[in-house]
Structure 1
């Protein structure tokens, strides 16, 4: 699964489903960063994403684990 697929699966597994902005608030990142990952891009060049970029592996692993436990 790509990070975008994992994020989408996690959002859809929640009741009610999480929006990009809801997930962003949950993980303290910007909604644009969530959309950026879902588009399949690897390294955000935007300076506004610098703080978010460090969280990407942690975010991905946590979402993957949460998605697997709910299936």
Structure 2
């Protein structure tokens, strides 16, 4: 049997979907959201902040693998 993953955007959508599945007698489970996943808006906000930091000169510049390795080892 195949599974379908649905990501409702609101509590109202979740409730409606749950009611529909119950009415159709479809077996389903509701699990807590994965905290490692972020909302699309949050994702784009982080990208915008990173772009602004780069414009402000707050980025790290590495030119070689060795410089990158040295930077990563310093963390």
Give the TM-score range, shorter chain: under 0.3
TM-score by length of 1: 0.24
Bigger share in helix: 1
Instruction: Determine which structure has greater relative contact order: mean sequence separation of CA pairs < 8 Å that are 6+ residues apart, divided by chain length.
Output: 1
TM-score by length of 2: 0.24
